[in-house]
């Protein structure tokens, strides 16, 4: 039996635009499980990123309940939420947000200094640079690296504390096909190692890496498909299955 790591009950998110309220997430019940690579897709405006931010403590829902790693975060104050973000979860965005005046090594290690002793953070950083194929970029600044290299640094930074869940919002959205594949390979490897991943994407190739697809439409779950365990040899077949599913849901 799978263990739940995220659960929403009657989740709602409303934004006020002028004098009107826009309901982006509507009474959503969703459960995400430990060790899964869950992909969230949907047309523009369907609520994908809003859902991601709501379940990850980045944004407070308007109504409803969110339980994250056994804790009801909708009842928690910012100080307690900050501790969860620092220890148990991590984020990867389309915009890598690396510190421009720090090298690849420094960007990763600096994030680790807030979680562990400096010596250990430095050691883990060196290991991650090797693991993610960034040894040659160790002393380069973000402006000296490609988009794919910067995103790999961002992923290394995100996992230095060994988070239980990685939230990714369009992590390949700004990358070319080669760099996208490198980033997806890293995420797939991390998931194979036991880390739960929740990823928002518009890319069918990226979606095929997951084992579950949650499809949103107008702020509600319109489809939920089990893709099964990822096998690189089945990438093309998985993409076809995803494409067919999306067409059936008028994507």
Q: What is the pLDDT of residues 128-172, one digit of tens each?
A: 999 999 999 999 999 999 999 999 999 999 999 999 999 999 999
pLDDT score at 21: 84
Q: What's the full length of the chain, in residues?
A: 251
pLDDT score at 95: 86
Is the domain 36-49+78-215+225-248 a CATH 3.30.56.10 member? no
Lookup: tokens for 121: 């953070």
Largest alpha-carbon pair distance within the chain?
Answer: 54
* HSE-CB of 163 using CA atoms within 13 angstroms: 29
Mean pLDDT rounded to a whole number for the chain: 95
Short-list 34, 40, 72, CA closest to 170 = 40
Mean pLDDT of 1-23: 90
The answer to whether residue 86 scores a pLDDT higher than 90 is no
pLDDT score at 20: 81
Q: Is 39 helix (H, G, I), strand (E, B) or coil?
A: strand
Percent of the chain with pLDDT over 70: 100
Compute the distance between CA of residue 45 and CA of residue 219 in angstroms, rounded to an integer. 8
Residue 125 and residue 112 in contact, taking contact as beta carbons nearer than 8 Å: yes
Question: Residue 4 pairs with which residues in a beta bridge?
Answer: 33
The answer to whether residue 240 scores a pLDDT higher than 90 is yes
Task: Give tens-digit pLDDT for 101-124.
Answer: 999 999 999 999 989 999 999 999
Helix/strand number for the chain, H first, E second: 8, 10
Contact residues for 136 (Cβ-Cβ < 8 A; gap 6+):
none
Q: What is the CA radius of gyration of the chain?
A: 18
Residue 175 and residue 148 in contact, taking contact as beta carbons nearer than 8 Å: yes
The answer to whether residue 25 scores a pLDDT higher than 90 is yes
The answer to whether residue 18 scores a pLDDT higher than 80 is no
Mean pLDDT of 12-27: 89
Lookup: tokens for 241: 């299955």
Weakest mean pLDDT among 10-14, 82-86, 149-153: 82-86
pLDDT score at 247: 95
Compute the distance between CA of residue 55 and CA of residue 172 in angstroms, rounded to an integer. 21
Task: Give tens-digit pLDDT for 195-233.
Answer: 999 999 999 999 999 999 999 999 999 999 999 999 999
E strands, 69-195, are 71-72, 89-93, 165-169
* HSE-CB of 90 using CA atoms within 13 angstroms: 25
């Amino acid at each position: 039996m799978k263990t739940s790591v995220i659960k929403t009950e009657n989740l709602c998110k409303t934004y006020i635009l002028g004098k009107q309220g826009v309901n982006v997430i509507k009474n959503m019940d969703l459960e995400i499980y430990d060790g899964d690579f869950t992909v969230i897709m949907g047309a523009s405006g369907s609520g994908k990123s809003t859902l991601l931010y709501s379940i990850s403590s980045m944004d407070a829902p308007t109504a409803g309940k969110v339980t994250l790693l056994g804790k009801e975060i909708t009842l928690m104050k910012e100080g307690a939420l900050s501790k969860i973000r620092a220890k148990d979860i991590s984020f990867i965005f389309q915009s890598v947000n690396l510190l421009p005046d720090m090298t690849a090594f420094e960007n990763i290690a600096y994030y680790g200094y807030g979680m562990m002793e400096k010596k250990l953070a430095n050691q883990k950083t060196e290991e991650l640079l090797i693991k993610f194929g960034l040894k040659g970029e160790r002393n380069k600044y973000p402006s000296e690296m490609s988009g794919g290299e910067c995103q790999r640094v961002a992923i290394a930074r995100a996992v230095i504390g060994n988070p239980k869940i990685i939230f990714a919002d369009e992590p390949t959205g700004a990358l070319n096909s080669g760099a996208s594949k490198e980033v997806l390979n890293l995420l797939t490897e991390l998931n194979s190692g036991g880390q739960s991943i929740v990823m928002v994407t518009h890319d069918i190739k990226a979606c095929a890496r997951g084992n579950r697809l949650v499809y949103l439409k107008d702020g509600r779950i319109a489809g939920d498909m089990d893709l099964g365990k990822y096998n690189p040899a089945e990438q093309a077949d998985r993409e076809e299955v995803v494409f067919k599913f999306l067409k059936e849901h008028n994507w």
